[in-house]
């Protein structure tokens, strides 16, 4: 009986020592993550991915709804202006149409390029510029080759940065000049004569119409830069994955 007790005690002591040794072993594998927790993490990642992928679709259709409403408001204001406009006011309106169209193009180009600069998405005609010279590796050592390669990459980066900054500056100036020309014409918009239709002001009607037109044009520009935001979203998703 004493022999049995002694054996049991020894075995128990060894077991406890082994347990303590395993607890203090830094190389021991961590406890496995429970399956439900893993599934929950994966589900959250999938839901976040779906949300990011469909967010631009939601924004796109909301933008279209806003644009349609703005078009309708502008059209109703235009009809009202057309009914009360004097010949001089109508001719000024016709003269402005081509300038408004040009201003839209300039504003769109400027806004798209600014958004590209914000997201570091360069236009192709700037991105394709790459300073790269062939180096004879049989003559130059590895350190010299690496130094030259680093300098070429830095020159390329600096050139792209300066080219993009100048491009944005030129586009901003073009938009500013056209916009100022339109503002000048609107400030000199013909006043009403004494024969205003039903005592309604053609000048006031035009101002209201033009304000709604600007609202619609801004929404149109916003829709035009949507594809740049999609490019940025796709880049972020790729990086995350």
Q: Which of 10-19, 87-96, 185-194 has the highest mean pLDDT?
A: 87-96
In this predicted structure, the answer to whether residue 152 has a pLDDT above a threshold of 50 is yes
| Mean pLDDT, residues 11-37 taken together | 57
Question: Greater confidence, 11 or 34?
Answer: 34
DSSP state of 137: T
> Domains of the chain: which residue ranges?
35-240
Could you count the other beta carbons within 10 Å of the beta carbon of residue 93? 21
Could you count the other beta carbons within 10 Å of the beta carbon of residue 47? 10
For residue 159, the Cα-to-chain-centroid distance in whole angstroms is 23
Check: CB of residue 238 under 8 Å from CB of residue 225: no
Task: Check residue 47 and give its pLDDT.
Answer: 81
- What's the pTM value of the predicted model, to 2 decimals? 0.71
Rounded to whole angstroms, how far apart are CA atoms 107 and 73? 22
Helix ranges (H only) for the chain are: 2-23, 35-84, 87-119, 124-127, 142-187, 202-224, 226-240
Rounded to whole angstroms, how far apart are CA atoms 234 and 121? 12
* CA 180, 182, 185, 188 torsion-angle sign: negative
- When the pLDDT of each residue in the chain is averaged and rounded to a whole number, the result is 83
For residue 207, the Cα-to-chain-centroid distance in whole angstroms is 32
In this predicted structure, the answer to whether residue 12 has a pLDDT above a threshold of 70 is no
Check: CB of residue 201 under 8 Å from CB of residue 84: yes
Asked which of 17-31, 79-93, 103-117, 147-161 is least confident by mean pLDDT, the reply is: 17-31
Task: Check residue 170 and give its pLDDT.
Answer: 97
Task: Check residue 8 and give its pLDDT.
Answer: 46
Phi, psi of 161 (to 5 degrees): -65, -45
Question: Greater confidence, 130 or 193?
Answer: 130
- 100, burial (CB in 10 Å: exposed 0-12, middle 13-18, buried 19+): middle
Q: Which residue has the tokens 């991105």?
A: 127
Confidence of residue 62 (pLDDT cuts 50, 70, 90): confident
Asked which of 21-35, 53-67, 208-222 is least confident by mean pLDDT, the reply is: 21-35
Residues 189-216 have pLDDT tens digits of: 998 876 545 446 899 999 999 999 999 9
First-to-last alpha carbon distance for the chain, in angstroms, is 66
């Amino acid at each position: 009986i004493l022999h049995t007790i002694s054996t049991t005690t020894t075995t128990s002591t060894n077991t406890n020592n082994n347990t303590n040794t395993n607890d203090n072993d830094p190389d021991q594998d961590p406890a496995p993550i429970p399956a439900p927790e893993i599934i929950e993490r994966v589900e959250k990642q999938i839901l976040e991915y779906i949300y990011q992928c469909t967010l631009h679709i939601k924004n796109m259709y909301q933008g279209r709804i806003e644009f349609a409403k703005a078009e309708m408001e502008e059209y109703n204001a235009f009809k009202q202006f057309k009914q009360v406009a004097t010949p001089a006011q109508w001719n000024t309106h016709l003269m402005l149409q081509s300038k408004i169209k040009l201003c839209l193009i300039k504003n769109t180009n400027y806004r798209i390029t600014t958004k590209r600069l914000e997201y570091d998405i360069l236009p192709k005609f700037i991105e394709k510029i790459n300073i790269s010279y062939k180096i004879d590796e049989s003559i130059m050592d590895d350190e010299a080759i690496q130094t030259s390669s680093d300098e070429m990459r830095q020159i390329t980066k600096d050139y792209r940065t300066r080219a993009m900054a100048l491009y944005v500056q030129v586009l901003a100036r073009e938009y500013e000049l056209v916009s100022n020309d339109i503002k000048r014409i609107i400030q000199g918009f013909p006043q009403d004569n004494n024969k205003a239709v039903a005592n309604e002001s053609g000048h006031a009607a035009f101002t209201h119409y033009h304000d709604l037109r600007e609202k619609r044009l801004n929404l149109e520009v916003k829709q035009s830069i949507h594809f740049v935001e999609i490019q940025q979203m796709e880049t972020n998703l790729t990086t995350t994955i």
